[in-house]
Amino acid sequence: MRINTGKGTISIMALIAIWSISLTVNLPGLAITPMLGNLDSIFPRTSELEIQLLTVLPNLFIIPFVLLSGRLSLYKSKIRIVVIALVIYLASGILYFFAGSMSDLIVISCLLGVGCGLLIPLAAGLLADTFAGRYRMRQLGIKSGISNIALVVATYAVGWLSHGNWRMPFLVYLIPAVPLVLSVFLREIPKTDLDPATPGTGVTAGTVPEAAAVSGRVKSGFILPRVWSLIAVYFFVCYSTVIVSYYTPFLMDADRMSDSDTGTVTAIFFLAVFLPGLVLPYIVKILRQTTFIVCSLVMAGGIILMAVSSGFGIMCVAAVMVGFGYGVFQPLIYDKATQVVTVPGKCTLALSFVLAANYISISATPFIVGFFQDVFDPGRHDNAFPFELNAVLLAVFAVIVVIFRRSFVFRIDRSYY
């Protein structure tokens, strides 16, 4: 069976091999979560600093290695980078079973961040290199769906495994064995799609897309206004979504809802993020130029419901709204990241810039919320404050989307549908 790429075909096994990489990209830090409350009993005399390092350092390691992966993709074999990253990732998962101290866990988690960081841009980059036009948008939507459903399933698996030995949740970090086995099929991707770009200092003749020729200043093959606008938008969209997973447990606990209710709302949220990726072309075809406007308004509405609601049913509806909006934003931004370059081979590097914004936002969110809470709610009495703040910011963002709806970031060209 051959799959149409918009510029040729590839085998179904090559496509499955690329899809399988997305199973791993959202998992770092997941297996650690159930044990955080029991670290004192697992490792006596565990300090608060060690706990902070265990949760923060892996994400901080991901950021530079995401950027390094994008840079290496210009000079080295992308398939080789994928294989090396999967080996590091899998080795980290195995090493967790031999950890005997908090220091071991911290070091191994950093190694996991290295492997995942190298892998993340290529999960989307291989699709961006192989597919073109609406075929690329469809595949990036599926990739987004796979990575998010893998997170939902892994979250339930970790919760179930955490009832046994504290090491059992680390079994989820053996998932890289699947794409590692399937990586042999990546060789079936046409070499013309995988050839590293030759680094340059300007625009290569004949490589500038027609729309890019008048888009703004170009440097080293990148249309800089597009790059910075995408980074800014994706940073904010990720921040506004991370609020849900970070602060919903505190909000629902204050409303005297059970842990199972919190888990259900969180699962519904991730499921809502997953589903739009599978039907993205149909969503875009229906909403067309209003796609980003509708999604920003839906996200703002969902956050407002979370801020004012104290009912489980309404929280579920709100989670669906926020998840849907983000589930559409994410793959479309990935697709637009492939349009900020004048040299097609630099798509992976462009994606690495945008994806780094995601992990920076994850790390920065508690500090952003903490700063504004110190200003407006210094006593920390309002558990809904992160959602109230986010509702205001999303409302402003929706206005910006409407005003700049014809700009590169928010425009939906006919080629999308």
Domains (ranges, CATH) in the chain? 1-196 (1.20.1250.20), 197-417 (1.20.1250.20)
What pLDDT score does 91 carry? Answer: 96
Among 56-60, 222-226, 312-316, 397-401, whose mean pLDDT is lowest?
56-60
Cα separation, 19 vs 48, whole angstroms: 38
CB-based burial, 144-176: b 16+ in 10 Å, e otherwise:
bbbbbbbbbbbbebbeebbeeebebbbbbbebb
Average pLDDT for 112-123: 94
Among 52-61, 300-309, 367-376, 390-399, whose mean pLDDT is lowest?
52-61
Q: Which value, in Å, is the radius of gyration of the alpha carbons in the chain? A: 21
What pLDDT score does 259 carry? Answer: 64
What pLDDT score does 271 carry? Answer: 87
Cα separation, 332 vs 230, whole angstroms: 11
**Nearest Cα residue to 334 out of 25, 92, 51:** 25
Q: Which amino acid is at 191?
A: K
Mean pLDDT of the chain: 86
- Whether 33 and 172 have beta carbons less than 8 Å apart is answered as no
What pLDDT score does 56 carry? Answer: 78
**Nearest Cα residue to 212 out of 21, 88, 343, 53:** 343
Average pLDDT for 369-388: 83
User: In this model, does residue 215 exceed pLDDT 50?
Assistant: no
What 8-state DSSP symbol labels residue 219?
A: E
Average pLDDT for 148-174: 83
**Given pLDDT bands bounded at 50, 70 and 90, which one contains residue 199?**
very low
User: In this model, does residue 185 exceed pLDDT 50?
Assistant: yes
Bridge partner list, 3: 10
**Nearest Cα residue to 409 out of 193, 248, 246, 223:** 223
Burial class (CB in 10 A: 0-12, 13-18, 19+), 62: buried
**Given pLDDT bands bounded at 50, 70 and 90, which one contains residue 49?**
confident
What pLDDT score does 176 carry? Answer: 94
**Nearest Cα residue to 146 out of 5, 281, 278, 3:** 278
What pLDDT score does 210 carry? Answer: 45
User: In this model, does residue 293 exceed pLDDT 60?
Assistant: yes
**Given pLDDT bands bounded at 50, 70 and 90, which one contains residue 214?**
very low
Average pLDDT for 286-305: 94
User: In this model, does residue 331 exceed pLDDT 90?
Assistant: yes
**Nearest Cα residue to 322 out of 245, 389, 383:** 245
Helix axes 102-130, 78-95, angle to 10 degrees: 150
What phi, psi does 29 have (nearest 5°)?
Answer: 90, -15
**Nearest Cα residue to 33 out of 7, 51, 20:** 51
User: In this model, does residue 212 exceed pLDDT 60?
Assistant: no
* Count helices and strands in the chain by DSSP H and E runs: 15, 4
What phi, psi does 219 have (nearest 5°)?
Answer: -145, 130
Q: Which amino acid is at 273?
A: V
What pLDDT score does 216 carry? Answer: 53
What pLDDT score does 36 carry? Answer: 65
